[in-house]
């Protein structure tokens, strides 16, 4: 990893949003790709925050400050990740499930989807099952993405799928699930159509789901 990306990860850890923004810009000027900066700078820094939070070395205020720096850095990358000549691929509705306030991973997935040509509608965090149902009905997405970061909230994904079933909407939308505690096995158990471990595989998986549903309107996927 370059010294620049190492410094970026460290400054994100320390919650220095101004420096994070400046270093992201510098890395772009040095010819690094947005994906490299995201993976080896921003996400690398956030991973250390996660480990130290788990081990009791960092507390919620510090994590929030680091998360704010992450958002600031992602703000610089967003237009670049979303830059795409791809014609609209499909409609992607996303949200973090009820009870869960984590949005960094969800935002990354949304950005990557936009970059891949999806029309994205982001419902934010702490989204109740009935809100997902209402939006599926109204906005008619091809794929619904559910994000959960807590073992206590991942069960809410099943509630959403059941609520779609109850509203007779389950066959109208493919459901893609993800988030740190979610596994492929869990996704299958709750009746999701797809699972992705990270933002780039989420794009691949959503494309596969569109092809399976016969809804894909682009070629060469
Ligand atoms: Co929270 N938190 N947190 N937290 N937090 C975790 C998740 C935790 C693992 C930390 C730890 O103990 N090591 C732990 C969960 C333990 C568990 O359930 N097993 C935890 C806890 C316990 C909590 C609280 C309960 C703490 C408390 O209050 N005592 C509390 C809960 C609040 C709530 O949600 N109700 C809480 C609060 C917070 C903050 C608000 C302080 C803050 C969130 C700020 C924000 O999001 N705006 C926060 C943070 C930042 C974290 C960690 C440190 C970082 C999460 C993150 O953003 N990672 C996290 C530890 C960790 O994950 N290492 C932790 C970076 C991000 C890029 O990765 O979100 O995993 P991630 O997203 C990835 C993939 O998961 C995947 O792609 C993304 C990009 O590659 N993905 C999808 C995500 N969604 C997807 C959807 C898809 C496909 C892929 O398809 C639709």
Which of 53, 156, 208 for a ligand 1 pocket mutation test, highest count of atoms within 8 Å of Cβ?
53
Q: Which fold has domain 3-83?
A: 1.10.1240
- HEC profile of 160-206: HHHHHHHCCCHHHCEEEEECCCCCHHHHHHCCCCEECCCHHHHHHHH
Expressed in angstroms and rounded, the spacing between residue 180 Cα and the centre of ligand 1 is: 7
Average pLDDT of span 23-37: 94
Q: Give the residues surrounding ligand 1 with Cβ less than 6 Å away.
A: 43, 46-47, 49-50, 53-54, 60, 63-64, 67, 94, 99-106, 108-109, 145-147, 149-152, 176-181, 196, 198-199, 202
pLDDT band at 53 (very low <50, low <70, confident <90, very high): confident
Question: What's the distance, CA 61 to chain centroid?
Answer: 22
* Same fold flag, 3-83 and 91-212: no
What is the model's pTM?
Answer: 0.86
Of residues 194 and 113, the one with the higher pLDDT is 194
Average pLDDT of span 140-147: 98
Phi-psi region of 128 (alpha: psi -120 to 50; beta: other; left: phi over 0): beta
The closest-lying atom of ligand 1 relative to the alpha carbon of residue 94 is 91
CB 12 within 8 A of CB 46: yes
Distance CA 26, CA 31 (A): 9
Expressed in angstroms and rounded, the spacing between residue 102 Cα and the centre of ligand 1 is: 5
The residue contributing the CA closest to ligand 1 atom 54 is: 50
Q: Name the DSSP class of 168.
A: T
Of residues 200 and 14, the one with the higher pLDDT is 14
Average pLDDT of span 51-67: 89
Ranges of each domain in the chain = 3-83, 91-212
Structure tokens at 54: 């788990």
pLDDT beyond 90 at 113: no
Q: Is 152 exposed, middle or buried (0-12, 13-18, 19+ CB in 10 A)?
A: exposed
Q: What's the CATH superfamily of 91-212?
A: Cobalamin-binding domain (3.40.50.280)
User: What pLDDT sits at residue 216?
Assistant: 39
pLDDT beyond 50 at 220: no
User: What pLDDT sits at residue 218?
Assistant: 34
pLDDT band at 15 (very low <50, low <70, confident <90, very high): very high
Average pLDDT of span 45-73: 89
The residue contributing the CA closest to ligand 1 atom 15 is: 150
């Amino acid at each position: 990893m370059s010294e620049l990306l190492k410094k970026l990860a460290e400054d994100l850890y320390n919650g220095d949003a101004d420096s994070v923004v400046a270093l992201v810009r510098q890395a772009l000027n040095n010819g690094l790709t947005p994906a490299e900066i995201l993976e080896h700078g921003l996400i690398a820094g956030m991973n250390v925050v996660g480990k130290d939070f788990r081990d009791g070395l960092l507390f919620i205020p510090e994590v929030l400050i680091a998360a704010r720096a992450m958002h600031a850095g992602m703000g610089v990358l967003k237009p670049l990740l979303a830059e795409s000549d791809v014609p609209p691929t499909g409609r992607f509705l996303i949200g973090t499930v009820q009870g869960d306030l984590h949005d960094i991973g969800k935002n990354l997935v949304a950005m990557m989807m936009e970059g891949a040509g999806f029309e994205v509608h982001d419902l934010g965090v702490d989204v109740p099952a009935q809100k997902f149902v209402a939006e599926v009905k109204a906005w008619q997405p091809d794929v619904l993405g559910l994000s959960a970061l807590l073992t206590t909230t991942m069960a809410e994904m099943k509630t959403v799928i059941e609520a779609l079933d109850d509203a007779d909407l389950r066959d109208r939308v493919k459901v893609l699930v993800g988030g740190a505690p979610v596994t492929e096995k869990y996704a299958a158990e709750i009746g999701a159509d797809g699972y992705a471990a990270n933002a780039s595989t989420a794009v691949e998986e959503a494309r596969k789901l569109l092809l399976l549903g016969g809804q894909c309107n682009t070629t060469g996927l």
